[in-house]
Amino acid sequence: MFSPRPRISTAPDLHVVDGLTSFERALDQPLMVGLFLPHQQGAWSPSKAPRDTDWSFAYNAECAVQADEMGFDLVFALAQWLAKDGYGGEIKFRANALDPFVASAGLAPLTKNVLLISTVHVLYGLHPLHVAKYGAVIDHMSGGRWGINVVTGYKEKEPRMFGLEPIGRDERYERASEFTELMKLLWTRDENLDFDGRWWSTGQAFVAPKPLNRLPVLVNAASSGAGLNYATSYSDLIFTTSPAGADPEKTCQSLPDRVRHIKAMAKEKGRNIRVLINPHVICRSTDAEAWEWRDRILAERDWVATENFAADFLGGDQDSWRGHSLENWSVGGNVHLVGSPTTIVNWMVRLKETGIDGVQINFFDFLPDLACFREKVWPLMFEAGLRN
Ligand SMILES: Cc1cc2nc3c(=O)[nH]c(=O)nc-3n(C[C@H](O)[C@H](O)[C@H](O)COP(=O)(O)O)c2cc1C
């Protein structure tokens, strides 16, 4: 079992290096780089191919600490609410999972520079005052490095777990807008707040301490018209999916229109939004070895888990994942980058050329793959001008 090094930082002040906060330094990079933490059992790949990746906090902390030491800009994990055995199969895919809001608090004193982005379903019973307060506390624990990925939940089963009826998409984003407005008021107002909204109200509510940055980093991962309207109104970062499935060539051809559309929507509102995609990186010394390993991940897929996983993502009230095939889902989510270190960096350059501002990387076997990335791919990214 991996154990995080004891490097507790208890920074009550805004963490600044060379006059810049962690978020400002991230924005300064030619290509932002994040690590998609494996909070879920099996992470992104419903395959039985051998690996040691583990959903435990110790394993995730080790990943986050290493990403932080390398100089990654952010770490992030998704949040899903699944019933017993998760997506099932022999591997009980995603049966156990950490919660990213809680886990981010644990990562705060173990990391120094990296942004900690917590995914939170804001429509499952939490009050904006709860999230504003809990977020402000993690922000303080981390020296102003906390951000929130606001998700509205598109699977009918999830709200039912909370005894709630599913809500149509447009209304979900209207509610998320009110939720976000209220959080922002609570983070920025220096007086008690009386708020009388359509879905939430407060009487003399106050949050102290305020986040060190005043406003934490706001993130979203929408695709629909209503979702993009929300994201371009409030979010600093948006995660997007490949419109053309996992193939990187097709992804690079189809992404520019999407990225242009998102940025134009933000610009109309006088805002600047950064678009990130999450590539699944399978890197070996040569292209042939990388493809051999990718084929093994695919061949050893857990069929039951894969079919349940794909059905969940392809179903539901969402637009993001329609272009992804069953085979794509067997290997991992979103665009697949397979090859030697040089090939991987060439694909990163191509992705940047689509207008993408950053990559949120996931792996099959996180710690060894991250170590290999650190040794062989990371230096090439600097040489290619993707990092400074
Ligand atoms: C990288 C990435 C991470 C995401 N993480 C989550 C998550 O943790 N939980 C969740 O419910 N939705 C998450 N989403 C969002 C949904 O998968 C889906 O993309 C979104 O709801 C679709 O947008 P729409 O609601 O506008 O149709 C994520 C999306 C992406 C691209």
Distance between CA 130 and CA 132 in Å, rounded? 6
Q: Ligand 1 pocket test: pick from 154, 242, 324 the residue with the most ligand atoms within 8 Å of its Cβ.
A: 154
pLDDT tier at 311 (50, 70, 90 boundaries)?
confident
Architecture of domain 16-383: Alpha-Beta Barrel (3.20)
- Find the 204 Cα to ligand 1 centroid distance in Å: 34
Residue whose C-alpha is closest to residue 243's, from 229, 265, 220, 223: 223
Distance between CA 247 and CA 338 in Å, rounded? 10
pLDDT at site 10:
57
pLDDT tier at 1 (50, 70, 90 boundaries)?
very low
Q: Ligand 1 pocket test: pick from 119, 233, 259, 262 the residue with the most ligand atoms within 8 Å of its Cβ.
A: 119
> Tens digit of pLDDT for each residue in 124-149?
999 999 999 999 999 999 999 999 99
CB 107 within 8 A of CB 323: no
Distance between CA 287 and CA 32 in Å, rounded? 25
> Helix-strand-coil percent breakdown of the chain, rounded to 5?
40, 15, 40
Q: Which two tokens stand for residue 274?
A: 């950064």
- The answer on pLDDT for 263 being more than 80 is yes
Q: Which atom of ligand 1 is nearest to the CA of 100?
A: 8
Count of CB atoms situated within 10 Å of the CB of 322: 12
pLDDT at site 8:
58
Residue whose C-alpha is closest to residue 361's, from 310, 372, 25: 372
Bond before 209 cis per omega within 30 degrees: yes
Distance between CA 344 and CA 323 in Å, rounded? 22
Ligand 1 neighbours by CB, cut-off 6 Å: 78-80, 119, 151, 153-154, 169, 221-224, 227, 239, 241, 278, 318-320, 360
Pairing assessment for the beta strands 193-196 and 201-205 based on DSSP bridges = antiparallel
Q: Can you list the positions of beta strands (E) in the chain?
A: 16-17, 20-21, 32-36, 74-76, 115-121, 146-151, 193-196, 201-205, 217-220, 237-240, 274-277, 280-283, 336-339, 358-361
CB 221 within 8 A of CB 230: no
Q: Which two tokens stand for residue 49?
A: 């191919």
pLDDT at site 312:
83
Element (H, E) at 101: helix 100-107
> Tens digit of pLDDT for each residue in 185-240?
999 999 999 999 999 999 999 999 999 988 999 999 999 999 999 999 999 999 99
Distance between CA 252 and CA 222 in Å, rounded? 19
Distance between CA 96 and CA 86 in Å, rounded? 7
> Tens digit of pLDDT for each residue in 41-96?
999 999 999 999 999 999 999 999 999 999 999 999 999 999 999 999 999 999 99
CB 77 within 8 A of CB 67: no
pLDDT at site 374:
98
- The answer on pLDDT for 266 being more than 60 is yes
- Find the 344 Cα to ligand 1 centroid distance in Å: 25
- Find the 152 Cα to ligand 1 centroid distance in Å: 8
- Find the 205 Cα to ligand 1 centroid distance in Å: 30
Q: Looking at residues 266-290, what average pLDDT do you find?
A: 98
The pTM of the full predicted model, rounded to 2 decimals, is 0.95
| Average pLDDT over all residues of the chain | 94
* Burial of residue 163 (number of CB atoms within 10 Å: 0-12, 13-18, 19+): exposed
pLDDT at site 185:
98
CB 75 within 8 A of CB 67: yes
**CA 307 distance to own-chain centroid:** 23
Q: Ligand 1 pocket test: pick from 156, 228, 242, 318 the residue with the most ligand atoms within 8 Å of its Cβ.
A: 318
pLDDT tier at 333 (50, 70, 90 boundaries)?
confident
pLDDT tier at 316 (50, 70, 90 boundaries)?
low
CB 51 within 8 A of CB 61: no
Share of the chain above pLDDT 90, in %: 88
Q: Which two tokens stand for residue 315?
A: 């179903």
> Tens digit of pLDDT for each residue in 108-121?
999 999 999 999 99
CB 104 within 8 A of CB 118: yes
- Find the 310 Cα to ligand 1 centroid distance in Å: 14
* Burial of residue 92 (number of CB atoms within 10 Å: 0-12, 13-18, 19+): middle
